[in-house]
């Protein structure tokens, strides 16, 4: 180890103690033990340009164990990504650039938002899928980079990492190099309390290449050699296993569960710095170490400039390439959107697939599929190849029964850039994906989640498969655009919004056929809600979403026969409606006019918009779908009766 290497690693370890100590909060030990490995990645291995952190063909780095964020922040400061020592002094403080867990879009050089363990591992798989597809479609001279990551025992214990690793091995994603910090320590104690897996054997069974380096956590040359051997394997992902001592070289806390959190304080910090040859000074970074590291951070500028020259000379389909990189469609792509005739009947999941298939030809970044429910959910992408180890340019991905990993893989694809991921399963299984969906919203990742079979209309499968609380729970996630279209034409608008907008979109689709209604083709779905049917002097407003909009239309006819005039409002997206001008909301919902909401799900949240609601505040039942809907009150006669009762009250 050179003098610079030794001093740089010591400085990183010093910062890993100082920042949490200043905050009286944080995780010191993992950052300290992984300082040599992270230093090797940032100083010897990865291709990046700190002055241009968004350079497209850069290597990606994912800290799956996001609790060790101070490690990444220390490297980003040293390499010149814009983080200052004052930012490190403000670690975990209000408004700082150094939050407790890394957040993409908040701190330059952070590629994904990690925190819940295992998510980063699955994000890496999504990034590698995006890289492989871009490389295959446009050539290795334009796209050819690796995805590096650090993970610990917690990451590999979470089920999501198993799902993701299994798929990565099956797909032969050779650009993944995942470094496993095998320190045998968790918060509760030694990992042997709850874990006896043979991780290398497990990953080999998934089809990964495994480098078991042993106790070389302090040997930079051995670490570099092991990583480079992994990089040389191009037909399968690689796991690099390194045995480390958590908290090393802390004089008292090393190799203890306490080192996982904030345990190393005043006297021990001073003693540990003395062991490393550092002065007893908080946030000590020698100027020559900073200068040398800044040179390393700018070293990738030559690679970037050479890449820019290759892009300038690119003789492929530049229009398609630019559309992928900007996440847009080809010029005039909106003209390819289909249309559906009023009076026909089609399930919105079927309509959605028709839209997706049309868009696949003109939005080249669209890529994805379903979790073993590809046909059922309408996430089939025909005639564009199936992504596989043999054909990594294919745009149809078969995720298998791996909902949670599928969601996080989609986020990795979206945040990598070059792809617009669309992933699908039944709405009731959104619960399996919730961690990834929440992080999609937090990350503003443009992931498109397709959830079909959206109500008790699922029918015979019964309450285990009939979602009642899922739509309300998804609407509770800030930043997630939840669109439940009333029919095929609203489904077209929903897809256009998903393509044109930033952040994640949830498309909530029906299993059963729904009538294509008059007025939906012109409906203002972009505003979240609009008047679908009106009268000269309405007495009550019926407000529906999804399949219940047609129920409201029929209920309005029943009421008309009884001499009661009703306005019908379609409210497909609460988030867009909330964002619309107050004047629009008032024009649609007409304050002072009695209003009744109708949705085949729980009533939670509805009273912000309406006076009363016909809902299902219980689990469903096993029977034909139309029977379950009728018996649970989702029918025109009951809606009309409830509206009349509301007027009477």
Residues with catalytic annotation? 403
Helix axis angle for 3-23 and 69-79, nearest 10°, is 130
Closest CA to 406 of 443, 445, 432, 379: 432
Helices (H) and strands (E) in the chain, counts: 25, 17
Report the greatest alpha carbon distance in the chain: 90
DSSP 3-state of 243: strand
Please, how many CA atoms are within 13 Å of residue 49, restricted to the half-sphere of its CB? 16
DSSP 3-state of 482: strand
- CA angle, 635 then 640 then 643, to 5°: 125
Q: Which helix (H) or strand (E) holds 561?
A: helix 548-561
DSSP 3-state of 389: coil
User: Where are the extended beta strands (E) located within 477-611?
Assistant: 481-483, 505-508, 514-515, 530-533, 540-544, 566-570, 595-598
Residue 539: both structure tokens together: 């007495």
Q: How far apart are CA 273 and CA 285, in angstroms?
A: 12
Q: Residues, the chain, total? A: 649
Residue matched to tokens 């690689």: 238
Helix axis angle for 430-443 and 119-138, nearest 10°, is 70
Are the CB atoms for 566 and 504 separated by under 8 Å? no
| 60 CB-near residues (< 8 Å, 6+ apart) | 111, 124, 127, 145, 146, 147, 148, 416
DSSP 3-state of 229: helix
Are the CB atoms for 396 and 381 separated by under 8 Å? yes
Are the CB atoms for 138 and 323 separated by under 8 Å? no
Residue 605: both structure tokens together: 């949240």
Residue 633: both structure tokens together: 């009150």
Are the CB atoms for 63 and 120 separated by under 8 Å? yes
43: DSSP letter: I
Are the CB atoms for 45 and 148 separated by under 8 Å? yes
Q: How far apart are CA 180 and CA 416, in angstroms?
A: 22
Sheet holding 209-214, edge to edge: 60-63, 147-152, 176-182, 238-243, 209-214
Q: How many CB atoms lie within 10 A of CB 592?
A: 7
211: DSSP letter: E
Q: Which helix (H) or strand (E) holds 147?
A: strand 147-152
Q: How far apart are CA 506 and CA 528, in angstroms?
A: 13
Q: How far apart are CA 31 and CA 397, in angstroms?
A: 36
């Amino acid at each position: 180890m050179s003098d610079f290497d030794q001093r740089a690693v010591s400085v990183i370890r010093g910062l890993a103690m100082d920042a949490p100590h200043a905050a009286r909060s944080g995780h010191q030990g993992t950052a300290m033990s992984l300082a040599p490995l992270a230093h090797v990645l940032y100083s010897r291995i990865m291709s990046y340009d700190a002055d241009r952190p968004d350079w497209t063909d850069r290597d990606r780095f994912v800290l799956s164990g996001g609790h060790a964020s101070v490690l990444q922040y220390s490297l980003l400061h040293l390499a010149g990504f814009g983080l200052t020592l004052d930012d490190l002094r403000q670690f975990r403080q209000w408004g700082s650039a150094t939050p407790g867990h890394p957040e993409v879009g908040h701190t330059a050089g952070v590629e994904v938002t990690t925190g819940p363990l295992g998510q980063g591992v699955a994000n890496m798989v999504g990034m590698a899928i995006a890289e492989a597809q871009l490389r295959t479609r446009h050539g290795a001279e334009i796209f050819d980079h690796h995805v590096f990551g650090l993970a610990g025992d917690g990451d590999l214990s979470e089920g999501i990492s198993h799902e993701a690793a299994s798929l990565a091995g099956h797909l032969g994603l050779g650009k993944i190099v995942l470094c496993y910090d095998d320190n045998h320590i968790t918060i509760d104690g030694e990992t042997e309390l709850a874990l006896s897996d043979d991780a290398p054997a497990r990953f080999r069974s998934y089809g990964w290449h495994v480098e078991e380096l042993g106790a070389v956590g302090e040997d930079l040359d051995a670490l570099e050699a092991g990583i480079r051997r992994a990089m040389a394997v191009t037909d399968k992902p690689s796991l690099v296993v390194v045995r480390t001592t958590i908290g090393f070289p802390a004089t008292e806390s090393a190799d203890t569960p306490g080192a996982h959190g904030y345990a190393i304080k005043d006297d021990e910090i001073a003693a540990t710095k003395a062991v490393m040859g550092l002065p007893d000074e908080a946030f000590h970074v020698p100027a020559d170490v900073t200068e040398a590291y800044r040179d390393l951070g700018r070293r990738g500028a030559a690679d970037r400039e050479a890449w820019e020259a290759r892009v300038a000379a690119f003789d492929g389909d530049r229009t398609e390439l630019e559309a992928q990189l900007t996440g847009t469609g080809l010029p005039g792509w909106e003209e390819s959107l289909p249309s559906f005739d009023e009076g026909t009947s089609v399930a919105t999941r079927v309509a959605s697939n028709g839209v997706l298939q049309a868009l696949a030809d003109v939005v080249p970044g669209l890529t994805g599929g379903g979790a073993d429910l590809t046909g059922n959910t309408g996430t089939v992408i025909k005639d564009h190849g199936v992504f596989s180890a043999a054909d990594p340019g294919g745009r149809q991905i078969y995720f298998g029964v791996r909902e949670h990993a599928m969601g996080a893989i989609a986020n990795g694809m979206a945040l990598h850039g070059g792809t617009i991921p669309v992933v699908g399963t039944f709405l009731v299984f959104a619960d399996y994906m919730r961690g990834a969906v929440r992080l999609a919203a937090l990350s503003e990742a443009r992931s498109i989640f397709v959830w079909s079979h959206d109500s008790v209309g699922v029918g015979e499968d019964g309450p285990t498969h009939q979602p009642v609380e899922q739509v309300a729970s998804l609407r509770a996630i800030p930043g997630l655009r939840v669109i439940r279209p009333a029919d095929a034409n609203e489904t077209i608008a929903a897809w256009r919004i998903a393509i044109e907008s930033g952040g994640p979109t949830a498309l909530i689709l029906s299993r059963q056929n729904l009538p294509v209604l008059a007025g939906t083709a012109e409906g203002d779905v972009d505003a979240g809600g609009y008047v679908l049917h009106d009268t000269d002097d309405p007495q009550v407003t019926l407000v529906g979403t999804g399949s219940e909009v047609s129920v409201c239309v029929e209920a309005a006819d029943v009421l008309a026969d009884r001499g009661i005039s009703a306005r019908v409002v379609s409210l497909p997206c609460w988030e867009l409606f909330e964002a619309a001008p107050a004047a629009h909301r008032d024009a649609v919902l007409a304050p002072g006019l009695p209003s009744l909401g109708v949705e085949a799900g729980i009533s939670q949240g509805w009273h912000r918009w309406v006076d009363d609601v016909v809902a299902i505040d219980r689990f469903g039942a096993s029977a034909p779908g139309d029977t379950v809907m009728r018996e649970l009150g989702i029918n025109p006669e009951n809606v009309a009766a409830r509206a009349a009762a509301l007027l009477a009250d």
